Amino acid sequence: MTDCYLREFDAKVVGVKGNEVYLDRSAFYPGGGGQPCDTGVLRFGDNIARVVDMKGEAHIIDGPAPKIGDDVRGVIDWERRYKIMRTHTALHIVAGVAYQNYGVKITGNKLYEGYARVDLSFERMSKELAQKIIDESNEVVRRDIPIKIYFITKEEFKNRPELMRVAPHLYEKYDNIRIVDIVGFDVQADGGTHVKSTAEVGKIFLEKYESKCRVHKRIYIRLSEI
């Protein structure tokens, strides 16, 4: 939550239920907000178990299971994680351009390794305008803007409605709200993993545009390899 570049960590096993392993601490992203969970391995003794999925705090493994009390070393599949970090940050850039330049909020998204889709509530959207949004997003990438992650209190968050890009009830269970700040460009509450600068995103391409109905529009993006 504070260091998206943490690739490995040490932890202690506090629970095991079949192929579900629970740790006292973890750097595996559990999934949520349109972002998939991390994969990787847990190493303990001479054993290695693949982490193939996450269900909340449970690490779903394929391979030998550790025992409660065992010390393990978790290792994130870094190449996959980093692509997802770049993709998630690209979505924030596209969302920031759509919100600031056209007054449009994202109504949904789904991201993968190097590609994603963005849903917008925007009646006058067209393929040409979608391409313009992507072109303007690439200008933000080229500016190499630093990205900061920090926390604010729930009270402060409630006084800053511009940070609230999804349904307000989703934030209610948190006492402190995590903020992703593309400095001087866009700031919003978010729980996912991100890169440290817009330049790390690489070039954003418009893959496809769809008009699902009168106001529901969908943009598909992909990223360049870097």
DSSP string, 125-194: --HHHHHHHHHHHHHHHHTT-BEEEEEEEHHHHHT-GGG--S-GGGGTT-SEEEEEEETTTEEEE--S--
Q: Is the pLDDT of residue 51 over 70?
A: yes
Split at pLDDT 50, 70, 90, the class of 173 is confident
Q: Are residues 63 and 124 in the same domain?
A: no
In a domain, 54, yes or no: yes
Coil/strand/helix, residue 209:
strand
Q: Are residues 24 and 39 in the same domain?
A: yes
Q: Are residues 54 and 68 in the same domain?
A: yes
Predicted structure pTM score: 0.93
Q: Which of 76, 102, 124 is the last residue of a domain?
A: 76
What mean pLDDT do residues 196-203 have? 98
What mean pLDDT do residues 84-96 have? 96
Split at pLDDT 50, 70, 90, the class of 11 is very high
Q: Which amino acid is at 55?
A: K
Number of separate domains in the chain: 2
What mean pLDDT do residues 188-212 have? 94
In a domain, 143, yes or no: yes
Q: Are residues 65 and 97 in the same domain?
A: no
Q: Are residues 157 and 85 in the same domain?
A: yes
Distance linking the first and last C-alpha atoms of the chain: 25
Q: Which of 76, 108, 124 is the last residue of a domain?
A: 76
Q: Are residues 71 and 131 in the same domain?
A: no
Q: What CATH number did the domain enclosing 108 receive?
A: 3.30.980.10
In a domain, 205, yes or no: yes
Coil/strand/helix, residue 96:
helix
Q: Are residues 119 and 192 in the same domain?
A: yes
**Is residue 204 within 8 Å of residue 134, measured between CB atoms?**
yes
Q: What is the pLDDT at residue 145?
A: 98
Q: Give residue 207's domain range.
A: 81-223
Q: Which of 30, 49, 76 is the last residue of a domain?
A: 76
Q: Is 56 exposed, middle or buried (0-12, 13-18, 19+ CB in 10 A)?
A: exposed
Distance CA 77, CA 42 (A): 11
Q: Are residues 128 and 66 in the same domain?
A: no
Q: What CATH number did the domain enclosing 19 receive?
A: 2.40.30.130
pLDDT tens digits, one per residue of 139-170: 999 999 999 999 999 889 888 877 776 656 66
Q: Are residues 62 and 152 in the same domain?
A: no
